[in-house]
Structure 1
Amino acid sequence: MKHRKNKIPVILSEGLKSHLWEYLVNNCDVEFFQLPHTREDPVIFDRFLGYDKTSGKHTAVAPDELDILTDPYLVKPVSHGVIKGSCPCFLTRVNVTSFVQGSDLNLVQAIDKFGERQLVIVASQSKRERMLSPPGVMREVVSDLPELEFCVLERIGRARHQGEIQTVLNKLVFKDLKTSHIHYIMKFLHTRSLVTKQSYSYA
């Protein structure tokens, strides 16, 4: 949290973790799932640390450097009723919400039972759509997106203020799509004011 653009001067102590767990357990807008396998931790890095003294502009880390990183958020579009997004184990994960919310498990006990890298918390579809809606854009614009366009927007939103480099989306995330298809999706999202475009030089 200390490396965020808008830094949060809070130390994530065990006490704070327990407090957040208690809040989430009693939050009706989240569900708890156990994945069928252990998921790797995401690698957090700042792709815009580079700075070109000649031009005075920040430069983006070359996307090829991301090849060595593990991406725990593999793309597999899902459309199931009102649920939309990307989840490779959507059909194999186990919903343990009723057990978690109906028991007195604390955070440590929950991790011991379900696995530290297998227990995941998923926000409701309405909350996810609201978080992806920029100021001034109605949530319905997001909820009406086709599933693939929603997946791309969610991927960009996950990167927070850093956004995503389109080349990365082409090469590493949506490998099965043609470059022209990603370009079309980005244009589709841009015309609906869901994303903005910026130019960056590669280091």
Structure 2
Amino acid sequence: MEALWAALDEVALEGLEGVSLGALWERLAGRLPPFPLPLPLEPGARQLLWATLAAHPELRFHLLPQPRPPLRLYDRYEEIDLETGILETKRDPLPLDDLYPVHMLLEHSGGLQGSCRHFKERLDVTDQVRTRDLQPCCTYEEAYEKWGERLVLVASQVLRHRTLIGWEGDPDLKLPDFSYCILERLGRARWQGELQRDLSAAFKVDAGKLHYHRKVLDKNGLISMQSHVIRLPTGAQQHSILLLLTRFHVDRRSKYDILMEKLSTLLSSRPAQMETLSNIREELGLCEKTFKRLYQYMLNAGLGRIVSVPLQDVRPERGPFKTKKGREAAIPVCAYLCARWQSRLLGPARHLLMFPLEDGPPEASFPTAGLPSGCSRSFPAGRGDRGL
């Protein structure tokens, strides 16, 4: 029974496109938790599973116009730096051929939802696979010899919907067709998830429209989101958001993500949410190298900016507060806007985090609204990380 439910789950996760026989065995081999039967299946076990699936009322069988290409699975995390959480790719990330290009069903009269390239062309051959009283008409070997990779198993709308939203979810939840297709694609990605920028390309929409439809899924607790960084061979970094079904969520935060959370908690407890670098480093218990990498991590992610704050506001015990030219003495302050820090554990924090720097990083513009009085310009480029 456990093997049957695992197979049904894999069929349902493939969405309206369905799964070919060869792809089904690939999915079962890569399943987490592992498939309960030893793989590859013995002919007898494979025939038993086929007979059970062929007779299942929640499955239909369709014949594609041409054989579906082999399923190619890849692990986006195999080159991840476990310390930084950055994908250290040795090559430019070229997209694989999309086995399931987006062709959305919109306002289907039968209530079907999902994406299917050959929805109108494929033939329903369920009557050739089983009888009306749910008895198999052919063995696995006979079916594969006759149809090969043209034959796909497709789960019912109810089974696909429940598999995506979770069996504890609301079965009456109605999602817009576009949002459902995003959810379907995340289900097909399993534990790998989908990058938001890849979804924009697949659906041929801009980030704003995708964000709108993504909000529907997030609001209903159907997906999880976390940051994802790729470092290209050139050294440049690409930042995106990794989306996963809630059931496949894995907290892949790097060491520096966790330190950023601690930094957020530390600074939010300070008066005016400001603190000196030396005090931050001491309280976090970091060596100079780790602290410098944390600082660079924040800047590279676009979470930090440098502004000027009057010295009197930051260190009132020190003086003088006027320069030799009679101007008000100021100190560089790194301002961290936590609204851009999206952590599922922290939630959307709204406060502004700041700490003084001895020297500023490269130039970055930053709005001064909401900062303590006296905050002004950003500092010029070229001052690097001296003083860290």
- Once the 2 structures are TM-superposed, how far is the Cα of residue 161 of structure 1 from its aligned partner? 2.0
Q: Partner of 2:207 in structure 1?
A: 179
TM-score (norm: length of structure 2): 0.47
Query: How far does the alpha carbon of each residue in 1:68-116 deviate from its partner, in whole angstroms, 9 at most, with x for none?
Result: x2222111111421211111111111000011103631111112222x2
Q: Secondary structure at the match of 1:121?
A: strand
Q: Partner of 2:103 in structure 1?
A: 76
- Counterpart Cα distance in 2 of 1:21 and 1:12: 14
Q: Secondary structure at the match of 2:225?
A: coil
**Do the aligned residues in 2 keep the contact of 1:48 with 1:60 (CA within 8 Å)?**
no
- Once the 2 structures are TM-superposed, how far is the Cα of residue 151 of structure 1 from its aligned partner? 0.6
Q: Partner of 2:55 in structure 1?
A: 26
Alpha carbons of structure 1 residues 139 and 163: separation in structure 2 relative to 1, 3 Å: farther
**Do the aligned residues in 2 keep the contact of 1:43 with 1:70 (CA within 8 Å)?**
no
User: Unpaired runs of 5+ in structure 1?
Assistant: none
Query: How far does the alpha carbon of each residue in 1:14-65 deviate from its partner, in whole angstroms, 9 at most, with x for none?
Result: 333212110111100000000112211221011112232552x263869963
**Matched letter for residue 158 of structure 1:** R
From the CA coordinates, give the structure whose radius of gyration is larger: 2
Report matched runs for 1:1-203 at 5 Å.
1=28, 3-8=30-35, 10-13=38-41, 14-52=43-81, 54-55=83-84, 57=85, 59=87, 65-67=93-95, 69-79=96-106, 80=108, 81-102=110-131, 104-114=137-147, 116-134=148-166, 136-141=168-173, 144-171=174-201, 173-174=202-203, 176-203=204-231
Q: Secondary structure at the match of 2:224?
A: coil
User: Unpaired runs of 5+ in structure 2?
Assistant: 1-27, 232-388
**Matched letter for residue 51 of structure 2:** E
**Matched letter for residue 19 of structure 1:** L
Alpha carbons of structure 1 residues 12 and 160: separation in structure 2 relative to 1, 3 Å: same
**Do the aligned residues in 2 keep the contact of 1:24 with 1:30 (CA within 8 Å)?**
yes
**Matched letter for residue 183 of structure 1:** H
Bigger RCO of structures 1 and 2 (CA < 8 A, at least 6 apart): 1
- Counterpart Cα distance in 1 of 2:104 and 2:164: 17
Identity %: 32
**Do the aligned residues in 1 keep the contact of 2:162 with 2:169 (CA within 8 Å)?**
no
Q: Secondary structure at the match of 1:184?
A: helix
Q: How many residues align?
A: 196
Computed over aligned residues only, the root mean square deviation of the Cα atoms, in angstroms, reads: 2.3
